[in-house]
Copies of this chain bind each other. A is one copy, B any other.
Protein backbone atom coordinates (compact mmCIF):
# COMPACT_ATOMS: atom_id res chain seq x y z
CA UNK A 1 0.00 0.00 0.00
CA UNK A 2 1.34 3.35 -1.01
CA UNK A 3 -1.67 4.95 0.71
CA UNK A 4 -0.75 7.88 2.95
CA UNK A 5 -1.30 7.13 6.62
CA UNK A 6 -3.87 9.60 7.87
CA UNK A 7 -4.06 8.77 11.54
CA UNK A 8 -4.17 12.10 13.32
CA UNK A 9 -7.22 14.06 14.32
CA UNK A 10 -5.81 17.07 12.46
CA UNK A 11 -5.87 15.06 9.22
CA UNK A 12 -9.68 15.13 9.18
CA UNK A 13 -12.14 17.89 8.49
CA UNK A 14 -15.45 16.69 9.91
CA UNK A 15 -16.22 14.46 12.87
CA UNK A 16 -19.40 12.55 13.62
CA UNK A 17 -19.96 11.21 17.15
CA UNK A 18 -21.36 7.69 17.05
CA UNK A 19 -22.38 5.19 19.68
CA UNK A 20 -21.40 1.55 19.78
CA UNK A 21 -23.81 -1.32 20.35
CA UNK A 22 -23.53 -4.39 22.52
CA UNK A 23 -23.82 -6.66 19.51
CA UNK A 24 -20.85 -4.90 17.85
CA UNK A 25 -18.52 -6.76 20.22
CA UNK A 26 -17.29 -10.09 18.91
CA UNK A 27 -16.35 -13.19 20.90
CA UNK A 28 -13.01 -11.65 21.84
CA UNK A 29 -14.64 -8.53 23.29
CA UNK A 30 -13.67 -6.15 20.48
CA UNK A 31 -15.82 -4.33 17.99
CA UNK A 32 -15.91 -6.58 14.95
CA UNK A 33 -13.97 -5.36 11.91
CA UNK A 34 -17.11 -5.20 9.77
CA UNK A 35 -18.69 -2.57 12.01
CA UNK A 36 -15.94 -0.01 11.29
CA UNK A 37 -17.22 0.19 7.74
CA UNK A 38 -20.66 1.06 9.07
CA UNK A 39 -19.03 3.96 10.93
CA UNK A 40 -17.36 5.12 7.69
CA UNK A 41 -20.58 4.65 5.70
CA UNK A 42 -22.66 6.48 8.29
CA UNK A 43 -20.26 9.44 8.49
CA UNK A 44 -19.88 9.98 4.74
CA UNK A 45 -23.64 9.66 4.19
CA UNK A 46 -24.33 12.04 7.08
CA UNK A 47 -22.07 14.64 5.50
CA UNK A 48 -23.81 14.25 2.14
CA UNK A 49 -27.29 14.54 3.66
CA UNK A 50 -26.55 17.54 5.90
CA UNK A 51 -24.84 19.39 3.05
CA UNK A 52 -27.73 18.72 0.65
CA UNK A 53 -25.61 16.59 -1.69
CA UNK A 54 -27.81 13.54 -1.27
CA UNK A 55 -31.58 13.41 -1.30
CA UNK A 56 -32.83 10.03 -0.21
CA UNK A 57 -36.21 9.98 -1.91
CA UNK A 58 -36.90 10.08 -5.64
CA UNK A 59 -33.39 11.16 -6.43
CA UNK A 60 -32.37 10.48 -10.06
CA UNK A 61 -28.72 10.36 -8.97
CA UNK A 62 -27.18 8.16 -6.30
CA UNK A 63 -23.69 7.51 -5.04
CA UNK A 64 -22.47 3.94 -5.43
CA UNK A 65 -19.61 2.73 -3.25
CA UNK A 66 -16.93 1.24 -5.53
CA UNK A 67 -14.03 0.77 -3.12
CA UNK A 68 -13.43 0.84 0.61
CA UNK A 69 -10.51 -0.15 2.79
CA UNK A 70 -9.61 -0.08 6.46
CA UNK A 71 -6.40 -0.39 8.47
CA UNK A 72 -7.01 -1.46 12.06
CA UNK A 73 -4.54 -0.02 14.58
CA UNK A 74 -6.01 -0.42 18.07
CA UNK A 75 -9.13 -2.26 19.14
CA UNK A 76 -12.30 -0.60 20.44
CA UNK A 77 -15.05 -2.09 22.57
CA UNK A 78 -18.66 -1.40 23.39
CA UNK A 79 -19.72 0.68 25.35
CA UNK A 80 -17.02 3.14 24.19
CA UNK A 81 -18.20 6.23 22.37
CA UNK A 82 -16.43 6.92 19.10
CA UNK A 83 -16.05 9.66 16.48
CA UNK A 84 -15.84 9.03 12.75
CA UNK A 85 -13.59 11.44 10.86
CA UNK A 86 -14.02 12.38 7.19
CA UNK A 87 -11.88 14.37 4.73
CA UNK A 88 -11.55 14.66 0.97
CA UNK A 89 -8.56 13.00 -0.65
CA UNK A 90 -9.46 13.42 -4.29
CA UNK A 91 -12.37 14.38 -6.47
CA UNK A 92 -12.45 13.28 -10.10
CA UNK A 93 -14.97 13.75 -12.87
CA UNK A 94 -17.38 11.10 -11.58
CA UNK A 95 -15.75 9.79 -8.40
CA UNK A 96 -14.87 10.99 -4.91
CA UNK A 97 -12.20 9.50 -2.65
CA UNK A 98 -12.76 10.19 1.03
CA UNK A 99 -10.26 9.58 3.80
CA UNK A 100 -12.16 8.06 6.71
CA UNK A 101 -11.26 7.13 10.26
CA UNK A 102 -12.52 6.04 13.64
CA UNK A 103 -11.31 7.65 16.86
CA UNK A 104 -12.06 6.67 20.39
CA UNK A 105 -13.95 9.72 21.65
CA UNK A 106 -11.45 12.53 22.21
CA UNK A 107 -8.38 10.54 21.13
CA UNK A 108 -5.67 12.27 19.08
CA UNK A 109 -4.69 9.20 17.11
CA UNK A 110 -7.09 7.02 15.11
CA UNK A 111 -8.03 3.47 16.08
CA UNK A 112 -8.58 2.76 12.37
CA UNK A 113 -8.39 4.61 9.08
CA UNK A 114 -9.08 3.91 5.44
CA UNK A 115 -10.55 4.99 2.13
CA UNK A 116 -14.09 5.23 0.87
CA UNK A 117 -14.72 5.84 -2.85
CA UNK A 118 -18.07 6.93 -4.27
CA UNK A 119 -19.09 7.15 -7.89
CA UNK A 120 -22.08 9.26 -8.89
CA UNK A 121 -24.56 7.17 -10.87
CA UNK A 122 -27.70 7.94 -12.85
CA UNK A 123 -30.39 5.64 -11.45
CA UNK A 124 -32.14 5.11 -14.78
CA UNK A 125 -29.13 4.24 -16.92
CA UNK A 126 -27.13 2.80 -13.98
CA UNK A 127 -24.08 4.61 -15.47
CA UNK A 128 -21.63 7.00 -13.88
CA UNK A 129 -22.21 10.71 -14.52
CA UNK A 130 -20.15 13.86 -13.95
CA UNK A 131 -20.48 15.37 -10.49
CA UNK A 132 -22.53 18.60 -10.76
CA UNK A 133 -20.63 21.79 -9.94
CA UNK A 134 -22.60 22.68 -6.78
CA UNK A 135 -22.04 19.24 -5.30
CA UNK A 136 -18.38 19.37 -6.29
CA UNK A 137 -17.89 22.66 -4.49
CA UNK A 138 -19.61 21.44 -1.36
CA UNK A 139 -17.54 18.29 -1.22
CA UNK A 140 -14.33 20.25 -1.80
CA UNK A 141 -14.95 21.88 1.58
CA UNK A 142 -13.78 18.55 3.04
CA UNK A 143 -10.29 19.08 1.61
CA UNK A 144 -7.54 19.63 4.19
CA UNK A 145 -4.94 22.18 3.16
A residues with CB within 8 A of B: 1-2, 17-23, 25-29, 32-35, 37-39, 41-42, 45-46, 49-50, 56-57, 62, 64-72, 75, 78-79, 114, 123
- Which 6 pairs across A and B sit closest by C-beta, in order of nearness? A69-B69, A33-B65, A22-B45, A34-B37, A23-B32, A21-B42
Nearest-CB distance from A30 to chain B (Å)? Answer: 8
Question: Contact partner of A67 among B17, B32, B69, B79, CB < 8 A?
Answer: B69
21 contacts between A and B (CB under 8 A): A1-B67, A2-B2, A19-B42, A21-B41, A22-B32, A22-B42, A23-B35, A23-B38, A25-B27, A26-B27, A27-B27, A27-B56, A28-B62, A33-B41, A34-B35, A45-B78, A49-B79, A67-B69, A68-B69, A69-B70, A69-B114
